[in-house]
A and B are shown apart, each in its own frame.
Chain A
Amino acid sequence: MNYTVRDSTPGDCKDIMRLIVDLAEYEKMPNEVKLSHKELEADGFSSNPFFKCLVAEVPEEFKSKEGHTIVGYGFYFFTYCTWKGRVVYLEDLYVMPEFRGKGIGKALMSRIAQIGRAQGCVRMQFTVLDWNKPSLDFYSSQGAVNLTATEGWQLLRFEGEALEKLAQNAN
């Protein structure tokens, strides 16, 4: 099956949002998606974009059961490690189930690695849910190391009310 991996355009945001929701369902957290495709468009395609996104597209004759030709995406941005320098952070990587096993996931990830290297990045980082065995196996096969397991890093956050409270408290 042919497919192409390309940079997304503002017109892709509805499809990207559809795939974001698909991935959230797979991660058992579909109700957590609050973003609209309009916000995605504003945040990703202005003069100061907060993210970049690649999409995988198939020709019309290979479209999905529901008629979609955008069948996968890789969502990333640049971050910084005070020890080593520039990092490319892979936020989302997803291929629709009916298009798996054809190398699309690998192709998306390779292109992001290439882009990262061109920008002088020394590593790629991402998080994976501990029960997600297919993904854990896939990333291991690409040379990824689980820093939570090997070095004990825990991911924390302040959000919503906790963030507001922190911003208001004197000490």
Chain B
Amino acid sequence: MANFILRKAEPKDVSDILRLIKELAKFEEMEDQVLLTEKDLLDDGFGEHPFYHCVVAEVPNEQQSSEGHTVVGFAMYYFTYDPWIGKLLYLEDFYVMKEYRGYGMGSKILKHLSHTAVKTRCSSMHFIVAEWNKPSIEFYKRRGASDLSSEEGWRLFEIDKQYLVKMSSKE
């Protein structure tokens, strides 16, 4: 099994991408937090100024999933900047459907992303993982990732829309 190709996502893929985003959110036990629509994904990824880049893993028709899907994995990333070392590749989402795991798809995607990072002269690839997600943490550590939260004490913060609005109206 598992002929698959990795290719750049196209506008027609947004419905599959959203489906996989929701599957990953379900795995992360936060599926009701996904508010994004296909239209948002289309505008934000395929407009004049893309906010993200996406690669998808696709199997031939004869290997489609039990629900008839051929797009079975994806990775979404964008470029960020570290004022100490320069450009970084930030891996936002990375997921392969359960029935397609164990065939090297995840490894291939990660390799493709690291190629992209090196080719575009990024010094590093960053991403976040939930601390309870031991299989993923092991997967990344086996491949040389360091945990900056443990090693250097970085904590991730967010300021949500209501406070952003409040802050942007003071000056």
Interface residues of A (CB under 8 A from B): 16, 20, 24, 29, 32-35, 39-40, 43-44, 50-51, 75, 77-86, 89, 91-92, 106-107, 109-111, 113-114, 116-117, 121-131, 139, 142-149, 151-167, 169-171
Further contacts, 14 of them, CB under 8 A, given A82-B92, A83-B30, A143-B160: A80-B44, A80-B51, A85-B35, A86-B51, A113-B164, A122-B164, A142-B159, A155-B127, A155-B154, A156-B128, A156-B147, A157-B124, A157-B126, A166-B114
B129 to chain A: which residues have CB within 8 Å? Answer: 153-154, 156
C-beta contact mask, B1-38 vs A, less than 8 Å → 1, else 0?
00000000000000000000100110000100111100
Q: Is the CB of A158 within 8 A of B125?
A: yes
Q: Is the CB of A171 within 8 A of B104?
A: yes
Q: Is the CB of A139 within 8 A of B84?
A: no
7 closest A-B pairs by CB = A162-B144, A143-B163, A159-B124, A114-B168, A113-B168, A167-B114, A130-B153
Could you tell me the dominant secondary structure of chain A's interface residues?
mixed
A155 to chain B: which residues have CB within 8 Å? Answer: 126-128, 147-149, 154, 156
A146 to chain B: which residues have CB within 8 Å? Answer: 155-157
Asked if B97 is at the interface of the complex by the 8 Å CB criterion, the answer is no
A128-B155, A129-B155, A169-B111 given as contacts; is B92 within 8 A of A156 (CB)? no
A20-B83, A156-B128 given as contacts; is B167 within 8 A of A109 (CB)? yes
The answer for the CA separation of A11 and B153 in the assembled complex, in Å, is 34
Contact of B156 among A29, A110, A153, A165 (CB under 8 A): A153
The answer for the CA separation of A34 and B124 in the assembled complex, in Å, is 13
B80 to chain A: which residues have CB within 8 Å? Answer: 50, 77, 79, 89, 91
| Range of interface residues on B (Cβ < 8 Å) | 35 or more
The answer for the CA separation of A19 and B163 in the assembled complex, in Å, is 27
B167 to chain A: which residues have CB within 8 Å? Answer: 109-110, 113, 142-143
**A–B complex contacts, Cβ < 8 Å, 14 sampled:** A20-B83, A29-B152, A33-B85, A44-B81, A83-B33, A121-B164, A122-B160, A123-B164, A148-B155, A154-B149, A155-B154, A155-B156, A156-B140, A169-B107
B153 to chain A: which residues have CB within 8 Å? Answer: 129-131
Q: Is the CB of A153 within 8 A of B131?
A: yes
Closest to A111 in B: B171
The answer for the CA separation of A155 and B155 in the assembled complex, in Å, is 8
Q: Is the CB of B125 within 8 A of A128?
A: no
A43-B87, A85-B40, A124-B158 given as contacts; is B128 within 8 A of A154 (CB)? yes
B140 to chain A: which residues have CB within 8 Å? Answer: 156, 158
